Structure 1
Amino acid sequence: MPTLSTALGIARALIAFPSVTPADAGALPYLRDLLAQAGFATELVTFSEPGTPDVLNLYARFGTAAPNLAFAGHTDVVPPGDPARWRFPPVSGEVADGPLWGRGACDMKGGLAAAVAAALAFVAKGGCDGSISFLITGDEEGPSINGTVKLLDWARARGEKFDHCIVGEPTSVKTLGDTIKNGRRGSLTGRLTLHGRQGHVAYTHLADNPLRKLAPVLAGLFDPPLDAGSADFDPSNLEVVTVDVANPATNVIPGEIRLVFNARFNDRWTPETLAEEIERRVAGAVGTMRTTLTFDPTNAASFLTPRGAFTDLVSSAVEDVTGRRPELSTGGGTSDARFIKNACPVIDLGLPNATIPAVDERVALADLEGLTRIYERVLERYFREKL
């Protein structure tokens, strides 16, 4: 049974579990036991969906009264790559030369460990006039189908109500606590095929080279910009990530080109309106050439938690610990906050993100301890100030 309750001890234990999505490898049962020992009501839940791997999730709650402040996070990690390229084995949880090393040290086993350690310390003092919950998934780095979105539905169907939530994703840029994410852009992936007619380069009149339309299509996708941003968001951007003609021959005109692109969009768009705009641009660029344009299913629309009492409270807690007021930002990638925003106001606040998801991912021990103090200060203020 687990005994260590410090952020470092919890983080080292979590890193030792090789929980590459969707494998749990024991990480969530470890957290269940640790939280249960402290008086949390805990339950492990597995969700399934045809065509996707089963995923283990954990829900834990201390107390039954309102308000209920939730911490959310994930124990799954991206693959470490070749372990030989790491200074220390990616599941060793080695402490050397200052940092804690290992896959997930920042994203986000370290952040999760800080939240759990803060909650354990807080409830041990007997100051929880309300409830503290944990929503922890093993599916954040994967398709995000059998994780937080279903865990939320499951919890709410049982009568659970959440008043506010902090997601422990690594949000700090230069120094701990310098950035809080109070919103996220959406994500939309498209797949475009330009259909020409294959033929010999010596008989171009018998072929239709789709490469001749590539430049106009790229120009249409990139120019003009999708927008100039909005009051709370940077401009949307679209990037082509692959272009493939699958043609090994030097004397054959290819029959088709396949492009894949991804757009990160702000609150000026929905997935539907952005797809319509991209379809319009492609149609204007290709003329009569036949195309196939599809969009991957997306559960990532943009959202914003407006500045207010909750963001002020968390910002003040950061300032209490670090002496600096954090910036509110909506930049960067997506997180599971996109699901939680349907249940309650939510922000992301976590460790520095400089080494994610790199070889030799690591976190400074001072940052790990500092984030624990920030979370504990949030808890103190939250249950004292009663938003």
Structure 2
Amino acid sequence: MSVAPSAVDLCRALVQCPSVTPQDGGSLSVLEAALKQAGFATHRVIFSEPGTPDIDNLYARIGSGAPFLVFAGHTDVVPVGEAAKWRFDPFAAEVAEGAVWGRGVADMKGAVAAFAAAACAFVAQHGTQKGSIGFLITGDEEGPAVNGTAKLLRWAYDRGQRFDHCILGEPTNPQALGDMIKIGRRGSLNGTLVAHGRQGHVGYPARANNPIPHLLRLLNGLIAAPLDQGTAHFEPSNLEIVSVDVGNPAWNVIPAEARARFNIRFNDSWTPETLQAELRAKLEAAGQGADYTLSFEPCNALAFLTEPDSFTDVVAGVVERKTGRKPVLSTSGGTSDARFIRAYCPVVEFGLVGATMHMVDERAAVADIEALTEIYAAILEAYFGY
């Protein structure tokens, strides 16, 4: 009988793989080896699409019956920024002051290691007589998210894989382990607004048409009134202007156009189509004859909710019992691959504390990684009736 890996050791081995999107850096091989040793059947699948990098993904399963609980996550990480500003080499996975330090520890190699260690230990103790356990691991969550989880899910579905529930190991906790479980996510829509004018000399403004005042008026029309008041499980939708650009190096030239970019995190009051229509109506009311164009990026991030049910109760109950904290069921934060998983089965998210994710000196407490492993193990026992 194989010995289950230590979550902390496995986490450190994963962090030592420089898997900045789209590079794998050997991380999937580290995880695959641990799962194979525990008896999981594994598959490495590379997906491609023009204009995007090829991405390596890992699918694993043990057992053949239902229910089928799958763990999902990613091993790719964001760039380190200025490595010289880190206390330790960002890919050394140093252990200091009771924490593992390195890029991707919190988001989310610590959770990947924790649920892999928990699943391996569970299989060694209980086998798979009562169902199946699987893994959906991508290297494209921090990147375009085109050749990762969305395609891996379709690949598995086309081969007859049917998931009953999923736990995604994103760092959901704001301050302490047990703070929060994500049961949904807001949608995300990106837009570009361009106000058109006529270039001319600043000393002869009547011969020109300055687009900047038009743009300011249009932007004010977008943000003057809230989009909504929120819903039962979601905060109000939020529009943030992220850039205003003219690109004019001269002091004595009125520019020909001015542009702004914005992002909206929207709740389940909206679809991308109804939201776009609302924004166009707001601009029409604020435009006062302004010449402008509005365009949107393709949207693959829709608002969704996993309605609380017995599965949610199992996860929340274990978290509360193990941490002493009653977790908030939340839909806050950014997007995640749960937006793809929800089309195949109910999904909740629970992982480590995210306070340092994407930051210099990203880290996670050793005690938290070990406690998260115990939580995942207890969820497996409760889910399969042990």
TM value normalised by structure 2: 0.98
Q: Which deviations, in whole Å up to 9, do the C-alpha atoms of 1:198-242 show, x marking residues without a partner? A: 110011111000111133212111121000000110000000000
Matching residue's letter, 1:361: E
Correspondence for 1:172: 173
Contact 1:21 1:138 (C-alpha < 8 Å) held by counterparts? yes
Correspondence for 1:214: 215
Q: Distance between the aligned counterparts of 1:20 and 1:287, measured in 2?
A: 47
Correspondence for 1:93: 93
Correspondence for 1:311: 312
Matching residue's letter, 1:124: A
Contact 1:235 1:265 (C-alpha < 8 Å) held by counterparts? yes
Shift of 1:288: 2.2
Shift of 1:101: 0.1
Q: Distance between the aligned counterparts of 2:51 and 2:227, measured in 1?
A: 34
Shift of 1:45: 0.0
Cα distance change on mapping 1:121 and 1:287 into 2, 3 Å: same
Correspondence for 2:160: 159
Q: Distance between the aligned counterparts of 1:116 and 1:165, measured in 2?
A: 14
Correspondence for 1:70: 70
Contact 2:141 2:148 (C-alpha < 8 Å) held by counterparts? yes
Q: Distance between the aligned counterparts of 1:287 and 1:152, measured in 2?
A: 48
Q: Distance between the aligned counterparts of 1:166 and 1:226, measured in 2?
A: 31
Contact 1:3 1:34 (C-alpha < 8 Å) held by counterparts? no
SS in 2 for 1:384: coil
Shift of 1:287: 2.6
Contact 2:4 2:124 (C-alpha < 8 Å) held by counterparts? no
Correspondence for 2:295: 294
* Structure 2 unmatched runs, 5+: none
Q: Distance between the aligned counterparts of 2:248 and 2:289, measured in 1?
A: 23
- 1:41 lines up with 2:41 in the alignment: yes
Q: Distance between the aligned counterparts of 1:119 and 1:4, measured in 2?
A: 8
SS in 1 for 2:161: coil
SS in 1 for 2:126: coil
Q: Which deviations, in whole Å up to 9, do the C-alpha atoms of 1:247-306 show, x marking residues without a partner? A: 011111111111000000000000111111111112222232221211001110000000
Query: Which range moves more in the overlay, 173-182 or 260-269?
Result: 173-182
Q: Distance between the aligned counterparts of 1:382 and 1:217, measured in 2?
A: 52
Indicate the percent of aligned positions where both proteins have the same amino acid: 59
Q: Distance between the aligned counterparts of 2:145 and 2:272, measured in 1?
A: 17
- 1:132 lines up with 2:133 in the alignment: yes
Q: Distance between the aligned counterparts of 2:94 and 2:255, measured in 1?
A: 52
SS in 1 for 2:231: coil
TM value normalised by structure 1: 0.97
Q: Distance between the aligned counterparts of 1:215 and 1:192, measured in 2?
A: 11
Shift of 1:126: 1.9
Contact 2:70 2:136 (C-alpha < 8 Å) held by counterparts? yes
- 1:189 lines up with 2:216 in the alignment: no
Correspondence for 2:260: 259
Correspondence for 2:363: 362
Q: Distance between the aligned counterparts of 1:169 and 1:83, measured in 2?
A: 24
Q: Distance between the aligned counterparts of 1:353 and 1:157, measured in 2?
A: 34
* Structure 1 unmatched runs, 5+: none
Correspondence for 2:224: 223
Q: Which deviations, in whole Å up to 9, do the C-alpha atoms of 1:25-48 show, x marking residues without a partner? A: 111122111101110000000001
SS in 2 for 1:106: helix
Matching residue's letter, 2:333: G
Contact 1:191 1:294 (C-alpha < 8 Å) held by counterparts? yes
Moved over 6 A (4+): none
Q: Distance between the aligned counterparts of 2:341 and 2:141, measured in 1?
A: 13
SS in 2 for 1:108: helix
Shift of 1:174: 1.7
Matching residue's letter, 1:319: E
SS in 2 for 1:80: coil
Contact 1:43 1:60 (C-alpha < 8 Å) held by counterparts? yes
SS in 2 for 1:155: helix
Correspondence for 1:199: 200
Contact 2:215 2:259 (C-alpha < 8 Å) held by counterparts? no
Q: Distance between the aligned counterparts of 1:324 and 1:358, measured in 2?
A: 26
Q: Distance between the aligned counterparts of 1:87 and 1:254, measured in 2?
A: 46
C-alpha RMSD over aligned residues: 1.2
Correspondence for 1:268: 269
Q: Distance between the aligned counterparts of 1:24 and 1:45, measured in 2?
A: 13
Query: Which range moves more in the overlay, 145-154 or 281-290?
Result: 281-290
Give the total of aligned pairs: 384
Correspondence for 2:146: 145
Shift of 1:184: 0.4
- 1:52 lines up with 2:49 in the alignment: no
Q: Distance between the aligned counterparts of 1:298 and 1:20, measured in 2?
A: 24
Query: Which range moves more in the overlay, 40-49 or 291-300?
Result: 291-300
Matching residue's letter, 1:209: N
Contact 1:213 1:285 (C-alpha < 8 Å) held by counterparts? no
Shift of 1:82: 1.1
